[in-house]
Amino acid sequence: MNTIEVPTKEQVDEKSQAIFDVLKNKLGTVPNLYAVIGYSSNALDSFLTFSGNAGNGIFSAKEIEAIKLSVSQVNECEYCQAAHTALGKMNGFTEQETIEIRRGTVKDDRLKAITTLAREISKNSGRASEESKQKFFDLGFKEDALVELVSVVISVTFTNYLFGLTQIPIDFPKAQDIAIELTEV
């Protein structure tokens, strides 16, 4: 069986090497999952551009992390749960709030509507209940927000799926294990 390893900088092409340098300067490190994406410099460049823009202008950084946590929970991605728990806390969430988001029990009405819709989109291959969509729109969101929400869902789904295929080492503090039953959405 072919095992995917986290590549070193020398194992990727020059374009990915340059992107690794930018990431290292910006983040202090190249996260393992980004390094794996770097096997394809086209995929890494495209992903960073897309994910860096997804949701911006409509959602706050904190809301984007909530969406990514919700989707990563649905997709059972331990890597992204760990990464977005850390990033969520950097953007103002407490540990307990990240757990509530992952469980789908967040109390804030706006976050609940956003994350419920994101979970449904992820769990149901792009479909969501009319009730969840209506709650989202009742908060004043328009069509552009729905499109941006889907872009964030797709962005994190890419990394969720790549981790699922590679199972590379998680280089963030592990997210707390939570026992949940995701209800049918």
Choice between 89 and 3, residue whose per-residue pLDDT is larger: 89
Q: What is the mean pLDDT of residues 79-100?
A: 97
Task: Report yes or no: 10 and 38 within 8 Å, Cβ to Cβ.
Answer: no
pLDDT value, residue 180? 57
pLDDT category of residue 2 using cuts at 50, 70 and 90: confident
Cβ-in-10-Å burial (0-12, 13-18, 19+) of 123 comes to middle
Q: Is the pLDDT of residue 97 over 80?
A: yes
Taking the chain, what is the end-to-end CA distance rounded to the nearest angstrom? 36
- Count of other CB atoms within 10 angstroms of residue 100: 21
The closest of 128, 135, 64, 136 to 101, measured between CA atoms, is 64
pLDDT category of residue 184 using cuts at 50, 70 and 90: very low
| Residue range 124-175, pLDDT digits in tens | 999 999 999 999 999 999 999 999 999 999 999 999 999 999 999 999 999 9
Please state the domain extents for the chain.
9-53, 61-166
| Of the options 1.20.1290.10, 2.40.110.10, 3.90.700.10, 3.90.1150.110, the CATH number for the domain spanning 61-166 | 1.20.1290.10
pLDDT category of residue 90 using cuts at 50, 70 and 90: very high
Map residue 14 onto helix, strand or coil: helix
Instruction: State pTM to two decimals.
Output: 0.93
Alpha-carbon span 31 to 108, nearest angstrom: 31
| Residue range 24-49, pLDDT digits in tens | 999 999 999 999 999 999 999 999 99
